[in-house]
């Protein structure tokens, strides 16, 4: 009998639509690879989800993005059910989703990070927490949701009038330069991609809208920087305790690399960054999805 895999997608975070696309792509790839697949659009109803997960599948492919799917919540439920799942476990997922904590951990492991401060909305309204230019981020969202740039002369009102992400704000120094990203598969950094966009930065629309960005793979950078990006991604992956597949993002100012964050649930359509890098390494999309299922685990 073929292995039964439940693919979790959708959810109720700001990244629901992206998750539905990732989940459908992975479900199709797994069917092509010979797995028996049940696709589950996860709603905010734990009882309904538990019902869909019985009888227990051999594994869960977690294609959820954002809060509740990427921050350790669903991982804790699957640990309780003793069902192996793809991507990182509860602790690594929670740590990686908490951007300030993730940066502290990888910095302690020797990975250069961008200066940041956590302040309240009131503090940010009152004065600049660090020298401009700086970037304002939610501490625990993905896909560049809720990011604002504060350049010289910009008003803080644009940020504070439309901020649905709670009272805590992450303020991070702006590093001019190039956007680089590295996928890690198990203990293997795959490649370095440069992301080029005509938009102000690699925001949600640049990630997912048609023509929003271009991926230069492999990145056109010197070999020393390329190899260093691979190395630092691997160090960050291990420092946070990640497993399966994750993707580390960096800024490169022409001289130095700076770690921004690691995505434990990166986009998984055939044209997403991780599958593109896997393809460069000779791994097809269906092989990538199958590898993730075969290496699924739950926390002991």
The residues that are catalytic are 15, 143, 208, 247, 249, 261, 263, 267
Cα(68)–Cα(70) distance, integer angstroms: 6
Q: Is 255 exposed, middle or buried (0-12, 13-18, 19+ CB in 10 A)?
A: exposed
Q: 17 by DSSP, 3-state: which?
A: helix
Q: Torsion over CA of 83, 85, 88 and 89, rounded to 10 degrees? A: -10
Cα(212)–Cα(204) distance, integer angstroms: 9
Rounded to 5°, the CA angle 107-112-115 comes to 85
Radius of gyration of the chain (CA): 19
The residues that bridge with 37 in the sheet, in sequence order, are 5
Q: What is the separation, in whole angstroms, between the first and last Cα of the chain?
A: 26
The torsion region of residue 82 among left (phi > 0), alpha (psi -120 to 50) and beta comes to left
b or e along 183-208 (b: 16 or more beta carbons within 10 Å of the residue's beta carbon)? bbbeeebbbbbbbebeeeebbbebbb
Query: Nearest Cα to 298, choosing from 97, 47, 62?
Result: 62
Note whether 61 and 7 are within 8 A (CB): yes
Cα(133)–Cα(68) distance, integer angstroms: 32
């Amino acid at each position: 009998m073929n292995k039964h895999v439940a693919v979790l997608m959708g959810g109720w975070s700001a990244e629901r639509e992206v998750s539905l696309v990732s989940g459908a792509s992975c479900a199709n790839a797994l069917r092509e690879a010979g797995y028996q697949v049940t696709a589950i659009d996860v709603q905010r109803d734990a009882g309904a989800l538990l019902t869909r997960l019985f009888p227990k599948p051999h594994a869960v492919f977690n294609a959820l993005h954002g809060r509740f799917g990427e921050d350790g919540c669903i991982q804790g439920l699957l640990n309780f059910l003793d069902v192996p799942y793809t991507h990182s476990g509860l602790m690594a997922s929670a740590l990686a989703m908490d951007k300030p904590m993730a940066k502290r951990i990888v910095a302690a492991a020797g990975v250069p990070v961008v200066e940041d401060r956590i302040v309240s909305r009131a503090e940010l309204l009152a004065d600049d927490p660090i020298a401009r230019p700086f970037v304002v981020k939610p501490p625990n969202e993905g896909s560049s949701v809720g990011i604002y740039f504060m350049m010289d002369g910009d008003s803080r009102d644009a940020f504070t009038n439309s901020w649905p992400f709670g009272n805590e704000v992450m303020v991070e120094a702006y590093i001019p330069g190039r956007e680089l990203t590295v996928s890690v598969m198990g203990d293997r950094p795959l490649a370095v991609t440069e992301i080029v966009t005509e938009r102000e930065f690699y925001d949600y629309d640049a990630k997912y809208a048609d023509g929003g960005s271009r991926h230069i793979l492999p990145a056109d950078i010197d070999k020393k920087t390329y190899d260093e990006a691979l190395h630092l991604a691997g160090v960050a992956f291990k420092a946070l305790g990640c497993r399966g597949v994750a993707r580390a993002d960096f800024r490169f100012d022409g001289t130095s690399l700076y770690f921004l964050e690691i995505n434990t649930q990166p986009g998984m359509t055939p044209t997403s960054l991780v599958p593109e890098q896997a393809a460069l390494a000779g791994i097809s999309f269906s092989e990538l999805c199958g590898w993730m299922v075969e290496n699924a685990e739950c926390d002991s």
